Structure 1
Amino acid sequence: MKVAIVHEWITVVAGSESCFKVFTEIYPEADIFVLVSDEKSVNALGINPKRVKNSFIQKLPKAKKKWKSYLPLFPYAIEQFDLSKYDLIISSSHAVAKGVIVNANQTHICYIYSPIRYAWDLYHQYLKEAGLKTGFKGFLAKSVLHYIRRWDLGTSNRVDEFIPISKYIEKRVWRTYRRESYKVIYPPVSVEEFTFNEKKDDFYLAASRLVPYKKIDLIAETFTRLPEKTLIIIGDGPEMDKIKKKSGPNIQIMGYQKFEVLKDFMQRAKAFIFAAEEDFGIIPIEAQACGTPVIAFGKGGSLETVKGKFVNEFINNDDTGVYFDNQSPASLMAAIEYFEKCNSVFDPVKIREFALTFGKDIFEKNIKETFTEIIEKHKK
């Protein structure tokens, strides 16, 4: 069986690359197709560069660093890959990878992180943050995204089976494409790298890249209103100045830190604060792997990666955190206060046990079994 693995780009090593890497390990002889790649990231994933085939975008100016500038070309570029000699095609997709051209004799499995967010769910937010709501540039951007939405919807039928990363994304796949998913399989998290620690100190922790949708500014504003509580923020990004302005003396902003420092604070924190609406959300699981409970926004992937209750719901020692119901200081404050009332109920051992269900070995087992089932189902 000849196998092709399609991924959008290998220019960073992030969450989706951990899944993609497993696919390349399950099928070590598979050819890999990407829009653009850089040698450093390919080597970091332990992939032989000879396996990687790039699109024509690779040869365009500054493509390895500014690949997103070529967004209008993505649909055309992904369709130029000739995959006609392959029996199985696995697309690892959060943008256009699922749009490769296939034929009736092939099986196409799409492991999907999300339909294209800036063309669908985050369309208006993307235009606003990029300053493209009005003007000629705005008109061009809206036209491109309109074209991409139509292309994205039209290419959904090139996929035989969708495997979404969460139930939240399963709903979005249905809403966007009107396609039933085969099965939800959660991405792998490197839980074994986060050491358990039962003893907690008297501070809260937030850690993230400082970008708008992570809502670290909301967390800072909330703790500024709670001067008796200590918050540590780890991370860097374009929102740094904004967050500093909203932070009181009880908040320590440490900026980017090495892994060992982040892990140490995760192990010792009273609770980890997570205010983003994520498709899945890896970092709350990493905190829980340390035995640390999580206070999370109760929407999106957090409802699956944190085993929690909303304020005033009954918490038992199988739970791993508390949810707040909207992204506002008042809602987060209520969740923090409720967490402190119930803190003694949380069991660090059980919190870690829950996190271990997202380990790489479980992901690999589920993926192998599911791929085999799908291949058998679609045998011609």
Structure 2
Amino acid sequence: MKVAIIHDYLNQYGGAEKVLEAMHEIWPEAPIFTLFYDPKKMPPHFQKWDIRVSPISNLPFGTSHYRVYLPLMPAAIERFNLSDYDLVISSSSAYAKGVLIHKGCLHFCYCHTPTRYLWSDTFDYIENLSGFEKYFKKILPVLLTYLRIWDENASKRPDYFIANSRFVGERIKKYYHRESEVIYPPVEIDKFYISPKIENYFLLVSRFRPYKKIDLAINVFNELGIPLKIIGTGNDKYLKKIAGPNIEFLGNLTDEEKAKYFSKAQALIHPQEEDFGITPLEAMASGRPVIAYRAGGALETIVEGLTGEFFYPQTKKALAKVVSSFEVKKYDPQKIRDYAQKFSKERFKGELINFINKRIKK
């Protein structure tokens, strides 16, 4: 059986790309079809894979300012010729689910979320455009309407949907009117460890996007004067401008460096609503509790009092109250890590293989 894997784009390394890595481990011979690929922004081992890109990858600024080419993306994803494949697995939060397949092929879509900027986050997406992209604000709503129509039609193409959380499963049903099976994403538990020494800082790990609410955390820790270390990359000009001397930006770290900071933190700060959220589970794999906004995927991974605490609503006052009263000694690092084992990579691979094999045999 010939297998193809489809992924939206490869220009950042996050939770979706960790899912892709696990898929590639299951089907190492399968080519990866993607709209565009920037090797400089991806781990070196991706260069050993059979990655096939669309023409968008060769256009000027095709990987850096890809939003300019949004109108071309539906046609680009449909251009991939998958007629030689019997099984297609798409890893999608946007366009990958829209590939065209032949009658005898089965298509399984692992959906990270229905396309955020077309459905749940449209107005925030438009409002937060920056740089030269902000000049497209007036015409963008018309384009997004066209893309929304395509996206709904494309959602009918997969034979089966797999959601990365119950939260996303509800979104799939709401926007795409499709049922889905929940298989939680993989966490590489073995990359993390419990440290015998906990230091005096809290940790935040995130890409610098407006919906990640990093500014909320910075404002709270500025007010409390408690040390906060931030791991991540993106447009940090504004965040660094508002950060006080107790806030440290560590940039993009290696897995080994990241594991060290996880293991010694008082707790991870998770101020955003995520579709699932692998980062909190990486903290738990390090035996560290999580202080999270009570919404989204965090409700499915954090057990209050055992692996972390919630704050609500998403305000400075609510987060400050939980941080200022946080008692690190009441948490058992080994119990936290044991809980995280339920989300291991091997568990993910086994569940995905079993789900697909059962449907193939029907």
Tell me, yes or no, if the aligned pair for 1:42 and 1:48 is still in contact at 8 Å: no
1:122 partner amino acid: D
Partner of 1:311: none
Q: Would the alpha carbon gap of residues 6 and 150 (structure 1) be closer, same or farther in structure 2, given more than 3 Å must change?
A: same
Q: Which shifted more, 61-70 or 354-363? A: 61-70
- 1:231 aligned onto 2:228: yes
**What SS is found at the alignment partner of 2:143?**
helix
Distance in 1, Cα, partners of 2:34 & 2:221: 43
Q: Would the alpha carbon gap of residues 48 and 266 (structure 1) be closer, same or farther in structure 2, given more than 3 Å must change?
A: closer
Indicate the RMSD between aligned Cα atoms, in angstroms: 2.4
Q: Deviations over 1:9-50 (max 9, x none)?
A: 23333321222222223223333322222455677244645x
TM-score by length of 2: 0.90
Q: Alignment partner for residue 302 of structure 1, among 298, 306, 314?
A: 298
- 1:24 aligned onto 2:24: yes
Q: Would the alpha carbon gap of residues 31 and 13 (structure 1) be closer, same or farther in structure 2, given more than 3 Å must change?
A: same
Q: 1:218 deviation in Å?
A: 1.2
Q: Would the alpha carbon gap of residues 367 and 41 (structure 1) be closer, same or farther in structure 2, given more than 3 Å must change?
A: farther
TM-score by length of 1: 0.86
Q: 1:217 deviation in Å?
A: 1.6
Q: Would the alpha carbon gap of residues 90 and 345 (structure 1) be closer, same or farther in structure 2, given more than 3 Å must change?
A: same
Partner of 1:336: 323
Structure 2 unaligned segments of length 5 or more: list them: none
Q: Would the alpha carbon gap of residues 61 and 225 (structure 1) be closer, same or farther in structure 2, given more than 3 Å must change?
A: closer
Partner of 1:265: 261
- 1:373 aligned onto 2:358: yes
Tell me, yes or no, if the aligned pair for 1:11 and 1:38 is still in contact at 8 Å: yes
1:130-149 correspondence to structure 2 within 5 Å: 130=129, 137-149=136-148
Q: How many residues align?
A: 359
- 1:362 aligned onto 2:320: no
Partner of 1:255: 250
1:104-143 correspondence to structure 2 within 5 Å: 104-130=103-129, 137-143=136-142
Q: Deviations over 1:72-116 (max 9, x none)?
A: 100011111222332211111111110111243221100111111
1:264 partner amino acid: K
Tell me, yes or no, if the aligned pair for 2:128 and 2:210 is still in contact at 8 Å: no
Partner of 1:195: 193
Q: Would the alpha carbon gap of residues 120 and 253 (structure 1) be closer, same or farther in structure 2, given more than 3 Å must change?
A: same
1:118 partner amino acid: Y
Tell me, yes or no, if the aligned pair for 1:273 and 1:296 is still in contact at 8 Å: yes
Q: 1:328 deviation in Å?
A: 0.6
Q: Deviations over 1:126-161 (max 9, x none)?
A: 1111169xx983332111111110000011111111
2:352 partner amino acid: I
Q: 1:221 deviation in Å?
A: 1.7
Distance in 2, Cα, partners of 1:31 & 1:266: 34
Structure 1 unaligned segments of length 5 or more: list them: 309-314
Tell me, yes or no, if the aligned pair for 1:272 and 1:293 is still in contact at 8 Å: yes
Q: Would the alpha carbon gap of residues 43 and 204 (structure 1) be closer, same or farther in structure 2, given more than 3 Å must change?
A: closer
Q: Would the alpha carbon gap of residues 141 and 351 (structure 1) be closer, same or farther in structure 2, given more than 3 Å must change?
A: same
Q: Deviations over 1:274-333 (max 9, x none)?
A: 10111111221111111111111010111123222xxxxxx4xxx100001111111112
Distance in 1, Cα, partners of 2:230 & 2:38: 31
**What SS is found at the alignment partner of 2:156?**
helix
Q: Deviations over 1:326-378 (max 9, x none)?
A: 111111122224533xx44321111011122222111111111111112123x
Distance in 1, Cα, partners of 2:338 & 2:238: 38
Distance in 2, Cα, partners of 1:156 & 1:118: 15
Partner of 2:156: 157
Q: Would the alpha carbon gap of residues 21 and 245 (structure 1) be closer, same or farther in structure 2, given more than 3 Å must change?
A: closer
1:32-71 correspondence to structure 2 within 5 Å: 32-39=32-39, 44-46=44-46, 48-49=48-49, 51-71=50-70
1:332 partner amino acid: L
Q: Would the alpha carbon gap of residues 86 and 231 (structure 1) be closer, same or farther in structure 2, given more than 3 Å must change?
A: closer
Partner of 1:312: none
Distance in 1, Cα, partners of 2:238 & 2:93: 30
Q: Which shifted more, 229-238 or 153-162? A: 229-238
Partner of 2:174: 175
Kindly name which structure, 1 or 2, has the bigger radius of gyration based on alpha carbons: 1
1:142 partner amino acid: P
Q: 1:171 deviation in Å?
A: 1.0
Distance in 2, Cα, partners of 1:269 & 1:43: 25
**What SS is found at the alignment partner of 1:174?**
helix
Tell me, yes or no, if the aligned pair for 1:220 and 1:243 is still in contact at 8 Å: no
Tell me, yes or no, if the aligned pair for 2:229 and 2:250 is still in contact at 8 Å: no
Tell me, yes or no, if the aligned pair for 1:110 and 1:159 is still in contact at 8 Å: yes
Tell me, yes or no, if the aligned pair for 1:168 and 1:300 is still in contact at 8 Å: yes
Distance in 2, Cα, partners of 1:278 & 1:162: 19
Distance in 1, Cα, partners of 2:78 & 2:158: 14
Q: Would the alpha carbon gap of residues 257 and 285 (structure 1) be closer, same or farther in structure 2, given more than 3 Å must change?
A: same
Q: Would the alpha carbon gap of residues 268 and 136 (structure 1) be closer, same or farther in structure 2, given more than 3 Å must change?
A: closer
Partner of 1:9: 9
Distance in 2, Cα, partners of 1:351 & 1:210: 27
Distance in 2, Cα, partners of 1:237 & 1:39: 17
Q: Alignment partner for residue 336 of structure 2, among 329, 344, 351?
A: 351
Q: 1:239 deviation in Å?
A: 3.9
